[in-house]
A = this chain, B = another copy of it.
């Protein structure tokens, strides 16, 4: 079986919220509510969008249109889904908390209704306070992109965090092992007002090396080898330690073999992982995994100056980052890049009410749609589809125009092939995007 039946269908396309509401006695129910639903001890989020006209209620319960009535603090409504199913809801509004008892009758199985309850709060509006800068010293590092890890710091949209990350093996800037390896992350950071369905914006202000060595190895990953190359590489797999010369901006193997005595790579510090927590009904992925939520993307253009756009799946977004690389070739071909600790400063923001199908990255000159999938083929298609959505959503291009722009301006790079998921990116030069004409609104 592939997908969940029933209730979860409510969640597939959460609606955008408007984040400003006036609170008014006659409008006490009106607004966008984020509800926490307890279903057989699993917790899920659902949005409820209510319009109140005197005693009449309309709006959406998840994706389903609802109609009902208000009676003082009590309310009652009926919502209908596309398959002929219904949700009958009764409850009360008390102290800013909307409670409800739901009887869900599946259209495909009307004889077996089931019941659950929820509690909801009005979606927070963005803080008007001036942006702050937070110095944060991590003491715990997580190994899953989980919504259930306790957030380490709460910030407002617009705020800046200055912190550090340990290397992929768990060693910090002093080389002290702090945690079991596998890309342990700094975070999660709770971002006020960020809600499921929003976009989290992570701008990397500074990304600096803070120690003088990195650890890597000398093998090639499975996906890079045909049978001839596999036979050639059969005896590799040793650790290789690299010296990082921060002043010169170069990396060199500490004990180079014959032909690499003068081999030198320019330092180009990057973050292998930037992620939001996955939704509460998903199994939290380990920090070697990637997906729509970002994660271990290992893309060597997530460097100082880049901005990363990620979908929000939980209240507060729950931002994680880690897995710094002093330098990395495309593909992360040997499975470990030049793994090292980092000094990181990011500014975080929220774009309410829309989110990309897969992560996006932007820098001064380029717009980049990531495609993350189980094979290079799937990732390639995902990147193309992600960029096509971008051109539709932000530039209003028609399908014909999308083909003309991609056909003349697409730049594809295979970003990573080392992990369970693969990452292919589609880049567009902003010079091209500037020549697009915005629709008259």
Contacts and interface: CB of A to CB of B under 8 A. Distances in A.
Given A5-B215, A259-B439, A432-B265, A381 B283 contact: no
Contact of A230 (B220, B231, B335, B406): B231
Nearest to A285: B283
This protein's copies in its complex: 4
A380 B392 CA distance: 30
A152 to B, nearest CB: 16
Given A1-B272, A435-B263, A404 B233 contact: no
Interface residues of A, number: 146
Contacts of A400: 218, 236, 238, 257
Interface in A1-59: 1-8, 39-40, 42, 44
Interface of A: 1-8, 39-40, 42, 44, 82-83, 106-109, 111-112, 114, 143-144, 168-171, 175-183, 213, 215-236, 238-241, 251, 253, 257-265, 272, 281-286, 288-289, 296, 298, 323, 325, 327-339, 373-378, 380-382, 384-385, 388, 392, 395-414, 417-422, 424, 432, 435-439
A398 to B, nearest CB: 7
A129 to B, nearest CB: 36
Contact of A107 (B6, B231, B239, B419): B239
B417 A380 contact: yes
A403 B218 contact: yes
A397 B259 CA distance: 6
A329 B399 contact: no
A114 to B, nearest CB: 4
